[in-house]
Structure 1
């Protein structure tokens, strides 16, 4: 524990904790929307389970960080006149996760636009979601977001003494903070249709970001143009700006 006597340790811990909270917002949004289809007495349980699973996955991945780093080596390559790509384990996880987010977000938007409700009394309805179905979906997204979060954490703490302890501490602190705020955030998102639609649109952007990041890790080239990763700062600035505009719209509507 001598590492906590160093200033660099505390700077890295605070920075990483803040970053984990920002990255965890994506997870909270997905959990809130998915759990919102459950009966009201099960929503809180589903959100808590979802975040606990996210914490478990992140810690497991941190202990297997050396294996994650080794997944950079391509196990399959495509070399065509217009496409070159070396598929790696990291890229497969990110691309599949991005595709799942795209599918889930667009299907949720379609249901809301067409007025399809998850209710027994609705004329246009789908089969009501069960706690088991919701948790399975949350687990799938937890794995993707945890993978992305751990890769970011490894990059930030590279070369710092006691990096693994710092990363685990930051993950635990960030998850405790998110558990405190997840229920109010979930309630707010599910009570405001415009915020929910905005959140689903953000998940589409995040899905595209994960796909491009996976292609970037594979050193993909399309028509001799290298696929670059989308900087997360740009994405989160767009999300913050959109939420700010929507907050003003909500204030205007109240008046």
Structure 2
């Protein structure tokens, strides 16, 4: 593999593939990073940074390990279960859905269900923070520790890693380019993890927005497992638009708070002057 790295440096097409793949891997890593940020913020403050770094480090190790077994990864797309159900054909001759499941499909469905369940539970706790003392909440009481958080991160890392590697395989045949792109993307995730987690923690409305993203991503993973391929551009465009609207809301709230503070300061100054000039 390493003997083929040096000739790639002189190939413009290889550089173009590398840049494109790095961007794609960073975009795909956003989903993983949002989940890690929300999960780590539920831990005690002294454990959060370490948990995020371990989770992202495991994501890198998992992606590199999968790259070393690239033939096995490609084989995950072969159907292993076929229920014989096919949806109506679309404009391009592709069925609306299909039930010929490969191992990749089954992993995506399982990961999507887990993501939907986890995001739904977090939304429930955010909307109704009172403990209900039911069986599920009693079970989740054990989740608020570092080991359980890392275990959940590993489960989602596996799903996102397989999706990430299959995307890389579809864009280039050069494993060195895939390795460099994965390392670059995970490095960006590592640098952005703490600022993103701190930003989410300081802005409660952003937490609900991020949980909405996770719900949407989980639903898309399930749909993808059933052969319903939603273009990723639509997903990230919706996420970007929602983030823009939330940024405008935050900007508006900050402006209202500045005006309120300025009015309080002006009123305090008027009261001080009236106190200093009793005859007025």
Which range, TM-score by smaller chain?
0.7 to 0.9
Q: How far did 1:41 drift?
A: 0.7
1:40/1:12 CA distance change after superposition, 3 Å: same
* 1:52 CA drift (Å): 0.3
What displacement does 1:72 show? 2.0
Residue 248 of structure 1 and its aligned partner are, at CA, apart by 0.6
Distance 1:18 1:75, change over 3 A: same
Give the CA deviation at 1:4: 1.4
Distance 1:49 1:136 in 2: 11
Aligned to 1:114: 128
Matches within 5 A, 1:169-208: 169-208=180-219
Counterparts in 2 of 1:139 and 1:81: CA distance versus 1, 3 Å = closer
Q: How far does residue 86 in structure 1 lie from its aligned partner after superposition?
A: 1.5
Partner of 2:100 in structure 1? 86
CA drift at 1:180: 1.1
- Cα deviation, 1:112-167, whole Å, max 9, x if unaligned, reads 110148xxxxxxx9456110010000000000111111111111114xxxx10000
Q: Which runs of 5 or more structure 2 residues have no equivalent in the other structure?
A: 1-5, 88-96, 132-139, 256-280
Alpha carbons of 1:103 and 1:166: their partners in 2 closer, same or farther (altered >3 Å)? same
Q: Secondary structure of the residue that 2:79 maps to in structure 1? A: coil
Q: How large is the Cα RMSD of the aligned pairs?
A: 1.9
Q: 1:215, 1:127 → 2: CA distance?
A: 33
In structure 1, stretches of 5+ residues that fail to align are 118-124, 217-227
Q: Sort the Cα spacing of 1:145 and 1:84 in 2 relative to 1 into closer, same or farther, 3 A.
A: closer
| Bigger radius of gyration among the two | 2
Tell me the CA shift for residue 178 of structure 1. 1.6
Partner of 1:166: 177
Report if the CA contact (8 A) 2:86-2:99 is conserved. Answer: no
Distance 1:43 1:17 in 2: 27
Match of 2:145 among 111, 116, 130: 130
**Structure 2 residue aligned with 1:41, among 34, 39, 46?**
46
1:145 corresponds to: 160
Q: Point out the more displaced range, 204-213 or 81-90.
A: 81-90
1:237 matched to 2:237: yes
Change in 2 beyond 3 A, CA 1:62/1:196: same
**Structure 1's 127 and 92: CA in aligned 2 closer, same or farther, altered over 3 A?**
closer
Aligned to 2:251: 251
Q: Tell me the residue number matched to 1:219.
A: none
Q: Once superposed, which parts of structure 1, at least 4 consecutive aligned residues long, lie more than 2 Å away?
A: 79-84, 125-128
Aligned pair in 2 of structure 1 residues 196, 2: CA closer, same or farther (>3 Å)?
A: same
